[in-house]
């Protein structure tokens, strides 16, 4: 049986996943669309015999998850339904099962988006995400009509959590008693975070760990300081040794040290890189184009090699695979590892929390964070630019900038402005998911930061973009 062509809401087929409004009369991601996506996806992963399916805690997830399962079964694929699960648990289960039988993966989640949204992440049989162009192929197939398979697949229930937690307990162990505070943001990391940290020997205290909470006090997005303030206060009041904040689907991590200070994503990357290089001397560390020059200098000063990769978890993972790099991170609080058992590249926030807890049990992390140099850097500033124009504008900026300064073009234009200010640079790139250009500016001093910010604003103005959001933005503390 075939499903007829439909009008596809292209705007929800994004660079890294499918994500959009899923609740109410104006919903774009509906159970009917989820069935069609699953059928189209099944045709793209024809080497797979089965698919692991999990989902987050959102109110629309159960219906979308069951619809996706129905589509996969209709396509003739077997389904391993693991129920409520963080994205990295789906990755892990996919990699584990594919050792015996080619297994792909599907996650219903919108991560840190507003509660009314939802999404679908799609994986190959090596637990690698679909690339942006492959997600567009799925959209094309949905638009042209999709057909069911010659057989009906089988569905079974399975919980990979016990085996997953055991694997973390075999990899990490705290060396002294350690009290850890966690804030899953009422997201799906509640499924694994507490249990895993306890399994490696931590005492765990938690806030915002009820996935059924209808009104979370803050967004589950540790990239932004305001979402970690409650955890920092809790760490100070509870006397915990450190605190971990998780994003909505458990693949990004924020850190609070024992003094109740939020570590910036760049500081966390530097901390993890320092630990990695202590056991992998001279290794390359993948960073993204928004990474602070201070972190680059720190990694290189430790004998490592900071290597730029593209922004985004799918592109970042493929860059690591293609270059053979085993560890990396980016400013959005994704931290990546290539692991051997089961073999895959993962951005698992719970794994990263276990690694940091083990490190903190060996040596206080506060001095390790304090030695990371701090330059004057802006937050990620968004400048409105329509989706149909943003990539052309970004290309024009790149072309114009390269005539005046050295430019790294791996993902947008990271412009080296060290001739104007010590340690100075800016990145101007088109967002892959929203109608914006994103800008980060940095220099070693306040005066240098002002110079870099002014140059960046002039570049934007040359493209008839309003630089006011950047000009009004002081550097981060």
pLDDT tens digit string along 249-294? Answer: 999 999 999 999 999 999 999 999 999 999 999 999 999 999 999 9
What's the mean pLDDT when you consider all of the chain?
Answer: 95
Q: How big is the CA angle at 173 (ends 170 and 174), to the nearest 5 degrees?
A: 170
- How much is the pLDDT for 1? 59
Q: Residue 410 pLDDT more than 70?
A: yes
- How much is the pLDDT for 144? 94
- How much is the pLDDT for 149? 84
- Give the residue-averaged pLDDT of 130-157: 94
- How much is the pLDDT for 316? 94
Which of 24-38, 50-64, 66-80, 374-388 is predicted least confidently? 374-388
Catalytic residues: 111
Q: What is the pLDDT of residues 180-230, one digit of tens each?
A: 999 999 999 999 999 999 999 999 999 999 999 989 999 999 999 999 999
- How much is the pLDDT for 178? 98
Q: How big is the CA angle at 31 (ends 348 and 82), to the nearest 5 degrees?
A: 35
- How much is the pLDDT for 477? 65
- What residues are paired with 26 via a beta bridge? none
SS3 245: strand
- How much is the pLDDT for 276? 97
- The DSSP output letter for 13 is B
- How much is the pLDDT for 6? 80
Q: In angstroms, rounded to a whole number, what is the distance separating the alpha carbons of residues 185 and 327?
A: 26
Percent of the chain with pLDDT over 90: 93
**Tokens at 172, concatenated:** 């990490």
- How much is the pLDDT for 476? 82
Q: What is the pLDDT of residues 75-116, one digit of tens each?
A: 999 999 999 999 999 999 999 999 999 999 999 999 999 999
Name the H helices within 324-445: 349-362, 365-370, 387-402
- Give the residue-averaged pLDDT of 40-49: 95
**Angle between the 387-402 and 446-462 helix axes, to the nearest 10 degrees?**
120
Q: What is the pLDDT of residues 147-191, one digit of tens each?
A: 888 899 999 999 999 999 999 999 999 999 999 999 999 999 999
**What does the CA dihedral 194, 83, 85, 137 come to, rounded to 10 degrees?**
180
Q: Maximum CA pair distance of the chain?
A: 68
**In terms of pLDDT, which residue wins out, 3 or 118?**
118
- How much is the pLDDT for 142? 96
pTM assigned to the model? 0.95
């Amino acid at each position: 049986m075939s499903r007829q062509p439909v009008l596809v809401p292209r705007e929800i087929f994004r660079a890294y996943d499918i994500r959009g409004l899923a609740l109410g009369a104006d919903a774009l991601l509906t159970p009917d669309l989820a069935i069609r996506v699953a059928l189209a996806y099944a045709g793209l992963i024809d080497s797979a015999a089965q698919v692991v399916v999990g989902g987050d805690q959102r109110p629309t997830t159960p219906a979308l998850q069951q619809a996706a399962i129905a589509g996969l079964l209709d396509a003739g694929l077997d389904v391993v339904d693991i129920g409520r699960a963080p994205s990295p648990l789906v990755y892990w289960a996919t990699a584990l099962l594919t050792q015996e039988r080619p297994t792909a993966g599907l996650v219903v989640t919108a991560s840190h988006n507003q509660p009314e949204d939802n999404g679908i992440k799609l994986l190959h049989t090596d637990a690698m995400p679909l690339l942006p162009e492959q997600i567009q192929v799925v959209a094309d197939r949905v638009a042209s009509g999709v057909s069911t398979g010659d057989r009906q697949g089988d569905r079974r229930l399975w919980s990979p959590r016990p085996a997953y937690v055991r694997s973390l307990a075999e990899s990490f162990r705290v060396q002294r008693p350690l009290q850890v505070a966690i804030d899953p943001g009422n997201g799906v990391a509640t499924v694994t975070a507490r249990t895993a940290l306890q399994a490696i020997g931590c005492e765990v205290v938690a806030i915002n760990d009820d996935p059924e909470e209808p009104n979370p006090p803050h967004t589950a997005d540790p990239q932004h300081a305001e979402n970690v303030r409650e955890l920092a206060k809790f760490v100070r009041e509870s006397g915990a040794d450190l605190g971990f904040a998780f994003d909505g689907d458990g693949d990004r991590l924020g850190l609070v040290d024992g003094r109740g200070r939020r570590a910036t994503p760049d500081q966390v990357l530097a901390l993890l890189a320092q630990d990695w290089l202590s056991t992998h001397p001279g290794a390359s560390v993948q960073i993204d184009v928004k990474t602070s020059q201070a972190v680059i200098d720190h990694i290189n000063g430790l004998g490592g090699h900071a290597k730029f990769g593209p922004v985004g978890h799918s592109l970042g993972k493929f860059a690591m695979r293609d270059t053979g790099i085993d560890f990396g991170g980016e400013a959005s609080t994704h931290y990546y590892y290539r692991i051997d058992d089961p073999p895959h590249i993962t951005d698992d926030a719970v794994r990263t929390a276990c690694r940091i807890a083990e490190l903190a049990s060996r040596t206080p992390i506060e001095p390790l964070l304090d030695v990371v140099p701090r330059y004057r850097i802006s937050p990620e500033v968004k400048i409105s630019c329509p989706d149909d124009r943003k990539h052309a504008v970004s290309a024009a900026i790149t072309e114009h900038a390269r005539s005046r300064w050295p430019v790294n073009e791996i993902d947008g234009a990271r412009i080296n402005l060290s001739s104007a200010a010590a340690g100075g640079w800016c990145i101007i790139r088109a967002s892959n998911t929203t109608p914006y250009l994103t800008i980060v500016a940095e220099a070693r001093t306040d005066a240098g930061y002002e110079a870099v910010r002014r140059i960046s604003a002039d570049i934007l103005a040359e493209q008839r973009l309003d630089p006011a959001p950047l000009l009004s933005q002081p550097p981060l503390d």
